[in-house]
Amino acid sequence: MSNTPQRVPDTKERILDAAEKLFGQNGFTATSLRDITAEAGVNLAAVNYHFQTKESLFEAAIARRMEPVNRRRIELLDAAGANPTLEQILLAFLSPLFVRHPNEAIGLMSQILATPDSFVRQLFKKHLAGVVNRFVEALQQALPNLTRTEILWRLHFTAGSMAHLMARGSVLPEISEGLCNPSDRPAVLARLVTFAAAGFRADAWGGDAGLGGEAA
Amino acid sequence: MSNTPQRVPDTKERILDAAEKLFGQNGFTATSLRDITAEAGVNLAAVNYHFQTKESLFEAAIARRMEPVNRRRIELLDAAGANPTLEQILLAFLSPLFVRHPNEAIGLMSQILATPDSFVRQLFKKHLAGVVNRFVEALQQALPNLTRTEILWRLHFTAGSMAHLMARGSVLPEISEGLCNPSDRPAVLARLVTFAAAGFRADAWGGDAGLGGEAA
DNA sequence: GTCTATAGGTTGATAGAC
DNA sequence: GTCTATCAACCTATAGAC
């Protein structure tokens, strides 16, 4: 009876849940430890007892969600076999970000992209470098006409579309006057994969394609 | 002699320059007015005298760069004539963001996307709603097979690629081990337009294209 | 318009009782 | 492990001399 499946979250976990929610909504600096402890219903001193500093709490909150996402990405890529299609590769990379977590962990990870401080960039690199290399290899195999440089650029563009979706998807119903509905996740994922796959399949830019400076 | 071309910036302008630089680098909440006045070499009270509050200083800094960008976007779209190509439309939308400003104003505007507070979203909408409508119309004309919904989604994806480039382009040389060089702006712009144009030209997703849940 | 000084509030982190 | 109480530092904004 000490670890029943439906146990009540302990203090440490409650802090992580609240941190994930509030950091994800408002970012690192705009969220105070007092906001977090109030949301979690725990004492202020508990956060320092369990996590020492605000920074390491942020790291812990990110790592808790990032690790399963990256594990799932590799799983899906492996499951697609030795010669995955472009769509399979993109789905393996993107779909683990579309699962719904209790506190919308997605917002938290989108904040990583928006936090300029160096410690967050290091953390991002630490958690993603290996995964990115694995996916670049798969993409090179699926798109032999593209250089590694070109693939890295296009993966960056794709990650940007995804990050923007996570960070700002909620404003889309407003600016589209109801036409775009980000809460239909399978449809959004399919749209993103369609868009990115076509972008990846475009002929590589060869130095100048008449797009030099400006239009006209 | 009161308004010679190479005048020295006055206090108000020095504050705006410093605010643009620091807000762009570190975001709104992580930047204090003391950081800004120190960078500008002016007194702390000057910022309240000229801009009242920190929030309205942020708004002023954004508006100063946003307005010329949006004016240039419309100019370029108009200059492309009555039936612009997809590439001309995308260049009109994206290229004004690639001009170099003294303090890298681009970082500032990428922070808008990363700032969750409602006042920034309103400000973003206020400055962009009209421009977006104009570009959606042009895109619909160039891509008659796409619904307005589909165009809005793909414009959102494109804006995400652009925003990610502005906000996180500086990490690309690191994670690409030198392969990707974001400082070659014409090349980056051409790559982004190539990628986005192919994405826009993809067949519309019709409800389910075998990309339902996950890979495999 | 520009300064000094300071009010008034919030923050992250810790000390120490229980 | 969890609490109360508190410290020292920082913040935005303003009042008032010049």
Question: Is-contact B12 B36, C-beta < 8 A?
Answer: no
Are B125 and A174 within 8 A, CB to CB? yes
* Number of domains composing chain B: 1
In a domain, A45, yes or no: no
Say which CATH number the domain at A125 has: 1.10.357.10
Residue at the smallest CA–C1' distance to nucleotide C15: A45
Of A172, A187, A209, the CB nearest to B190: A209
Pairwise CA distance, residues B171 & B165, whole Å = 10
pLDDT digits (tens, 9 = 90+) for A17-57: 999 999 988 889 999 999 999 999 999 999 999 999 999 99
In a domain, B25, yes or no: no
Question: Is-contact A121 A174, C-beta < 8 A?
Answer: no
pLDDT score at A207: 64
Residue B32 has pLDDT above 60, yes or no: yes
In a domain, A53, yes or no: no
Question: Is-contact B134 B49, C-beta < 8 A?
Answer: no
In a domain, B3, yes or no: no
In a domain, A135, yes or no: yes
Are A190 and B180 within 8 A, CB to CB? no
In a domain, A18, yes or no: no
Of B150, B192, B202, the CB nearest to A157: B192
Pairwise CA distance, residues B42 & B171, whole Å = 32
Q: What percent of chain B stands above pLDDT 90?
A: 63
Residue A77, CA distances (Å) to A89, A93, A126, B191, B213 in order: 6, 8, 20, 26, 15
Residue A72, CA distances (Å) to A65, A69, A136, A206, B140 in order: 11, 5, 17, 35, 38
In a domain, B114, yes or no: yes
Q: Is A26 within 8 Å of chain B by CB?
A: yes
Protein side of the strand C interface (CB < 7 A): A 31-35, 44-45, 48, 52-55; B 10-12, 42-46, 49-50
The domain of A139 spans 65-201
Pairwise CA distance, residues A136 & A152, whole Å = 7
Average pLDDT over residues B79-100: 94
Give the predicted TM-score (pTM) of the model.
Answer: 0.90
